[in-house]
Amino acid sequence: MKPFEKLVASLRRLPGIGPKQAERLALHLLRASSTEVEQFQLSLREVRERVRPCPVCLDYTDQPTCRICADPAREERVVCVVEDPTDVAAVERTRRFRGRYHVLHGVLSPLDGVGPENLRIRELLARVGAWGEAGGEVILATNHDTEGDATALYLGRLLQPLGVRVTRIAIGVPLGGDLAYIDEQTLSEALAGRRSV
């Protein structure tokens, strides 16, 4: 294969990049300034060399323990379980959560061959199990789709016997959501989850 086609092929392996966009990206990378390309290569190398899963929550970090797990101000026994590191960033942006995280690094997906053994579930059970009598809360914040719901259900069953409070993030009409255009499943869950005002 020629160098340009090889680069296009490499770019096509990235998630969400189709053939046309791979060509466009390759063309950009060929034409870009040396500074831009060197910065990109440097940041890729740095991420690969320095970023590792935090031994506590398994979020990625370039420190021995991640910023959140190392922060004594964060509640230790309120753990928000998410699928991916990008979900940690999303919850953090709300500035409403003062607990900690546990990153599963995926979601149960039998069709893609992802079973419980492929997720960081053992680490979650060990962590929560160590709370003992003190108790605590595990918030299941996997996505609200078939796989995320199934994963939450599965984790709920494993966690309940440990004597902790297990919750699921609320499902309902999103901000700006027009009732006329929202899918009926969401709307019926929003009704079922109604609260006194």
Q: In the range 7-26, which residues lie near a second copy by CB under 8 A?
A: 7, 9-11, 13-17, 20-21, 23-26
Provide the minimum distance between the beta carbon of 148 and a second copy in the complex, in angstroms, as a whole number. 16
Cβ-contact 164, 128 below 8 angstroms: yes
The phi, psi pair for 148, rounded to 5°, reads -65, -40
Own/partner long-range contacts of 108-111 (Cβ < 8 Å, ≥24 apart): 108/147, 108/150, 108/151, 108/154, 109/147
**DSSP codes, 169-184:** ----PPTT--TTTS-H
Smallest distance, Å, CB 185 to a second copy?
A: 24
Quick note: the x/- pattern for a second copy over 31-70, rule CB under 8 A, is ---x-xx-xxx-xxxxxx-xx--------x-x--------
Rounded to whole angstroms, the Cα distance separating 136 from 133 reads: 9
By CB under 8 A, what part of segment 106-135 binds a second copy? none
| Binding footprint of a second copy on the chain (CB under 8 A) | 2-4, 6-7, 9-11, 13-17, 20-21, 23-30, 34, 36-37, 39-41, 43-48, 50-51, 60, 62, 84-86, 89
